[in-house]
Structure 1
Amino acid sequence: MRIKARGSISPTLPIRSFVVSYDEEEEKLVVCAVNRADIDPFIAGALKAEWPLSSMENQIDDKIARRLGITAFEVLALYNPSLKQHLRITPLEPLDQPPPPESK
């Protein structure tokens, strides 16, 4: 993994968003932090999944981080089908699905 930073990081950083893209031609993930104001128009018209912190008891733990990461890869693979062959992750159970019955 290589990190390419432009300029120096100042103590008063603008609000940024974290964007993950898949470059199909070079078969690589591209991760960047972009100014939120620059992408607000795109967010307004985008497919969104909102994760209110209140629904997570106002904390982000390992379980939430795993769910978010897997969700991100599943969405990327939906729009970049060639990525799917590289995924080796266990699909998540839907949040609203009841647990399976216990075996007797």
Structure 2
Amino acid sequence: MLYVSGLVCFFGGIVAFSTYQAHTLNVLLSLEAIMLSLLVVLYTFNCFSGSPSQSFLVLLTFAACEAALGLSLLVSMLRLWGNDYVDSFGSMKF
């Protein structure tokens, strides 16, 4: 059941990432939701397979680094431009 809920959260994070792109914080939160749901899926897979794996710790480390990097980029953008709108950047327009 935990495996299925992790997959539902993963696809919900992908939908949120593709639809809510007005603010940079929304994009970062949806990326973090995707990463945490992948952690849940990997953890349940490792528990059911019975083989201890280091990949869970590696993915957890990447998730923490991603969150720290995203927060530092958000603070830098707020200091430079004064807002966190994704539409105000020329290279990010769709």
Please confirm whether the aligned pair reaches a TM-score higher than 0.5, indicating the same fold: no
Per the shorter chain, which TM-score range?
A: 0.3 to 0.5
Structure number having the greater strand percentage:
1
Q: Which has the higher contact order (CA 8 A, sep 6+)?
A: 2
TM-score by length of structure 1 reads 0.30
Name whichever structure is richer in helix by fraction: 2
